[in-house]
Structure 1
Amino acid sequence: MTTPSVDEQDPRAGLRDLETMLDALTDHAVIKLGPDGEVVRWSRSAQAMTGYTEDEVVGRPPAMLRTEEDRDAGLPEQELETVRRDGPLSFQGWLVHNNGERFLAHISLTPVVDGDGAVTGFVEVLRDVTETARAESLFHGLLESAPDAMVIVGTDGRIALVNRQAELLFGFDRAELVGREIEMLVPPRFRDRHVGHRNGFLANPKVRPMGAGLELSGLRRDGTEFPIEISLSPLQTAEGVLVAAAIRDVTERRETEQRLQRQRDEILELSTPVIQVWDKVLVMPIIGTLDTLRATRLTEGLLEKIAQSQAEVAILDISGVPTIDTQVAQHLLKTVQAAVLMGTVSIMSGVRPETAQSMVHLGIDMGRLRSRSTLQDALQLALAVLAERAGTAEAAARALTSGESR
């Protein structure tokens, strides 16, 4: 034999327990309405939220809480009719506190039906979302006022929110972006790799630039690509971690950097010109301090000119170099060695007494590199080298001819 429960022994006790539980809800106001929509039960949380006591509202329709605009439009009655016909309904609306202040509420209406399916009343649940809405409004305002394109992405990699700058940057409408995977904004050849980067960030979310040291590209709606920079920030929300990506178009900056680099290259070329003074004789006057980049350019320029002119002698004039240290000497030696491999004799000119003394003091060995104190002396040596080479070539030709005649 089953022992009846407390509720079955005393239904009123079960009702009191239910009312106690409803009163314990502090962030939700629960209101019981009769079949015509009048208030029959007013919880303590409803009184705390609206300022109205139970005596003030029982027997009256809860439309008294609605704004004058909603009442004039007949919205409360339309909502009850919709619930009577279609079932539960949820929406947001403005309510009025008994002191006249408005607050935004999330409103849920649920019909109460008997065993025959007839509606015998309604349960209305109110939740004050004013602060939440205010915070969301502030967040959206900040998002829209951001100078960069902002894209908020969920842990599933789908776009949850974008601002106006993102629409303008990528050429998509907001409705075309929200709910789609973030990879739609990435050039196809990078998409598989991007998924791995995205998962890696979610595994260790922290504020940082994306792809540090890499050149990143975005994809517009029309299919064009453009260079971008991305800063990532994690956002902790009730729904989990979201990723905020601030995206900036750096096309103009990249073009400026490339233009400046071209200008620097042109200046370097102008500062180390290769001059062909005679047939098969080149002169490279070096002015200023040599660094690694400039020395590399110097070597490349000289070797290219040797190949073009078939030069046999190259004069490196260092009269315009303020100091010679070990690093500069090594650069010069590498240039000379590269020229030798191409069959060219190198001569260094412009070696001042203090420069020579400094090189000896540093223990710099220039090997078998020929040197002269002035460019004039170097040019005379170059002519001698050409004559020597010409004589050697002529003698070799005579020897070859003589050998063939025998």
Structure 2
Amino acid sequence: MTTPPEGDQDPQADLRDLEAMLDAVTDQAIVGLGPDGDVVRWSRTAEALTGHAEAEVLGRSASVLHTEEDRTAAVMEQELESARQDGRREFQGWRVRKNGERFLARIALTPVRDEAGAVTGFVKVFQDVTESARVESLFHGLLESAPDAMVIVGADARIVLVNRQTEALFGFERAELMGREIEVLVPPRFHGRHVGHRNGFLSDPRLRPMGAGLELSGMRRDGTEFPVEISLSPLETAEGRLVVAAIRDVTERRETEQRLLRQRDEILELSTPVIQVWDKVLALPIIGTLDTLRATRLTEGLLEKIAQTQAEVAILDISGVPTIDTQVAQHLLKTVQAAGLMGTVSIMSGVRPETAQSMVHLGIDMGRLRSRNTLQDALQLALAVLAERTGTAATAARSLMSGEPQ
């Protein structure tokens, strides 16, 4: 062997270096093909992946790795011609190992040209993606079967994947959403707030509801809005961190909640009606437990009725209240004080012996509130109060007319 002149490179040495580099690639099989698809180079990874030793495939057609159906259909020849015409091609296809086992391969096929531009061969790079494809297929299956709209967003807040429930809920085709910012699904007036929410999640990614305590809205393709509930979770992938948003339309639930609230309010009004039993005399029969919410409604209803009727006496009948404790007594006292500020005298009726003993035992002081045992006695007292007020008013009027001091 002659030594090349100093400054010149040995082509054979360069080739050996190149082959050594190719053999160092362990995750992808690299194969050199002649212009007709015959194998001229076979890396160690190709041997490990297919089970074929280099000596078994050199000089043979690369279709040895194709399925019988693909060989019959001349698929390899079509692939080579496509790469010859269009340049580098990337695709997936089924291949066969020496033992007959099939595997899904991701393939890159690149033509090699001489100085004149003629194709002198091809470089084929492929890897087994069967497992990743199976996992991806399973993931997509789970995504499609999810009951909620699922939107997967990248770190740049652009949509990378949606399921069919998203299409049905928002009215967009998938192709219309891919690559667009997630705010396309949010009403414009909420964009600023939403950007803050999603940036906050990206800075601290963990499974949690979005905008906890807030009423969130989505926007369909036609511009209509609807209430939504959103759960966010991070998804770590080979391409980086993604965000999975599960979006649920809660229109029906919100309507049900509002209907229940209205029914509750109606029941509260029915359970604490304010009745005008006489001119300028109101009666408020209280039945059941008196909590803070109900006491507030009771006070509001009584004051509104006093303003409407100019009532001077209000009878609070507690015969239907099972127990009187400090909290209930405080609620009643506040109601009496509020009525007093409007010039109305309050009378409590229905005070049973056990109720009176309980109030004394608890040390409950109802102030100067007048009370009677029965509603009938309370009505008689109410009439007396009216008569007394009428007499006092008449005396005061005569004194004013005569100039006498009151």
1:157 maps to: 157
- Alignment partner, residue 274 of structure 2: 274
Structure-2 residue corresponding to 1:356: 356
Relative to 1, partners in 2 of residues 1:272 and 1:139: Cα closer, same or farther, differing over 3 Å?
same
Residue 47 (str. 1) matches residue 30 (str. 2): no
The number of aligned residues is: 401
CA distance in 1, matches of 2:51, 2:87: 29
- For 1:258 and 1:305, locate their aligned partners in 2 and report how far apart those are by CA, in whole Å: 26
1:21 paired with 2:21, answer yes
Alignment of 1:236-275 (within 5 A): 236-275=236-275
Q: CA deviation at 1:274?
A: 1.1
Q: Distance in 2 between matches of 1:29 and 1:88?
A: 17
Letter in 1 for 2:398: R
Q: 2 CA distance for matches of 1:97 and 1:194?
A: 52
Give the equivalent residue in structure 2 for 1:63. Answer: 63
* CA–CA separation in structure 2 for the residues paired with 1:308 and 1:233: 56
Deviation at 1:8, TM superposition (A): 4.4
What are the Cα deviations for residues 86-111 of structure 1, in whole angstroms up to 9, with x where unaligned? 32111111112222222111111112
CA displacement at 1:6 relative to structure 2: 9.9
Q: Match for residue 285 of structure 2?
A: 285
Secondary structure in 1 matching 2:99: coil
CA shift for structure 1 position 137? 0.2
> Which whole-Å CA distance do the structure 1 matches of 2:86 and 2:149 have between them?
42
- How much does 1:255 deviate? 1.5
Per the TM alignment, residue 239 of structure 1 is displaced from its structure 2 partner at its CA by 1.2
Paired with 1:281 and 1:87, the residues of 2 have a C-alpha distance of 97
Which deviates further from its counterpart, 326-335 or 41-50?
41-50
1:214 deviates by 1.5
Structure 2 equivalent of residue 107 of structure 1: 107
Letter in 1 for 2:38: E
Distance 2:199 2:166 in 1: 22
Which ranges of structure 2 fall in alignment gaps of 5 or more residues? none
Distance 1:137 1:235 in 2: 16
Shift of 1:117: 3.1
Q: Is this contact kept in 2: 1:91–1:106, CA < 8 A?
A: yes
CA 40–212 in structure 1, closer or farther in 2 if over 3 Å, else same: same
C-alpha displacement of 1:199: 0.5
Q: How many percent of aligned residue pairs carry the same amino acid?
A: 81
1:235 maps to 235
Shift of the 349–5 alpha-carbon distance from structure 1 to 2, 3 Å rule, reads farther
SS in 1 for 2:233: strand
Q: Deviations over 1:239-266 (max 9, x none)?
A: 1111111111111112122222222212
Cα RMSD for the two superposed structures:
1.9
- Mark the CA change 1:139 to 1:6 in structure 2 (over 3 Å): closer, same or farther: farther
Q: Distance in 2 between matches of 1:5 and 1:197?
A: 69
Is 1:89 aligned to 2:85, yes or no? no
Cα distance in 2, alignment partners of residues 181 and 71 from structure 1? 45
Which structure 2 residues correspond to residues 383-394 of structure 1 after superposition, within 5 A? 383-394=383-394
The answer to whether the Cα contact below 8 Å between 1:29 and 1:46 also exists between their aligned partners in 2 is yes
On the 8 A contact 1:7/1:13 being kept in 2, the answer is no
Which runs of structure 2 are paired with 1:181-260 in the superposition (5 Å)? 181-260=181-260
TM-score, normalised on structure 1? 0.94
Is 1:117 the equivalent of 2:117?
yes
CA contact (8 A) 1:286 1:319 kept: yes
Task: Return the alpha-carbon distance in structure 2 between the equivalents of residues 147 and 358 of structure 1.
Answer: 56
What's the counterpart of residue 331 of structure 1? 331
Amino acid in the other structure paired with 1:224? T
What is the distance in 2 between the residues matched to 1:69 and 1:396? 115
Q: Helix, strand or coil: the match of 1:276? A: strand
Distance 1:178 1:149 in 2: 15
Comparing 241-250 and 48-57, the one that deviates more? 48-57
Amino acid at match of 2:234: P
Alignment CA distance shift 1:290-1:5 (3 Å): farther
TM-score scaled by length of structure 2: 0.94
- AA paired with 1:262? R
Residues 6 and 14 in structure 1, CA contact (< 8 A), matched pair in contact too:
no
Q: Out of 136-145 and 185-194, give the one that drifted further.
A: 185-194
Cross-structure match for 1:167 = 167
Mapped pair 1:142 → 2:142: yes
Secondary structure at the counterpart of residue 136 of structure 1: helix
1:56 to partner: Cα distance? 2.3
SS in 2 for 1:231: strand
Deviates more, 1:310-319 or 1:94-103: 94-103
Determine the C-alpha separation between the residues in 2 that align with 1:85 and 1:221. 42
- Counterpart secondary structure, 1:90: strand
Output the CA distance in 2 between the equivalents of 1:61 and 1:54. 13
Q: Distance in 2 between matches of 1:8 and 1:229?
A: 71
Three-state SS of the structure 2 residue aligned to 1:131 is helix
| Deviation, structure 1 residue 403 | 4.5
**1 CA distance for matches of 2:119 and 2:390?**
118
**How is 1:31-46 mapped onto 2 (pairs within 5 angstroms)?**
31-46=31-46
Deviation of 1:85 (Å):
2.9
**Structure-2 change in CA distance of 1:31 and 1:351 (3 Å):** same
Q: State the alpha-carbon separation in 1 of the partners of residues 5 and 202 from structure 2.
A: 51
